[in-house]
Amino acid sequence: METTRQQKIARQIQRDIAEIFQKEGRDIVRGTLVTVTEVRVSPDFNYAKIYVSIFPFDKAPETMAALDQHNRFIRGELGRRIGTQLRVVPELQFFLDDSLEYIEHLEQAMNPTKANPQQK
């Protein structure tokens, strides 16, 4: 169970990471839509798990690799934004949230005519 402070810090990190992707991180995400879906912060605020959704889905592996490669840059930018609120900027771990891809797959399975409009 997360404390209220953990939840507040997680929401702030989510907003800040999304802003970093929009402004400073354009070269990192290169033509993909990256959405920060959830952030979970450890009780000591030393670690943050960041769940991202990537569209188009086929670019997910290379985008995740780019996020891992630029982790230090992203953490530095995050530190500039939340440095006054936390003593230590948390270490970032990025995870792929593929729930949207899963939902699309289910929709195609449940409605095969939508997946292939030529069939009627």
Q: What does DSSP say about strands 47-55 and 33-41: parallel, antiparallel, or unpaired?
A: antiparallel
Residue 64 lies in a domain: yes
Q: How far apart are CA 92 and CA 21, in angstroms?
A: 14
Q: What is the CATH number of the domain that holds 17?
A: 3.30.300.20
Q: Region 72-91: what's the mean pLDDT? A: 91
How many domains would you assign to the chain? 1
pLDDT (0 to 100) of residue 26: 82
Residue 120 lies in a domain: no
Q: What is the pTM of this model?
A: 0.80
Dihedral, CA atoms, 16, 19, 24, 28, nearest 10 degrees? Answer: 90
Structure confidence by residue, pLDDT tens digits, 9-39:
999 999 999 999 999 888 888 889 999 999 9
Q: Given pLDDT bands bounded at 50, 70 and 90, which one contains residue 117?
A: low
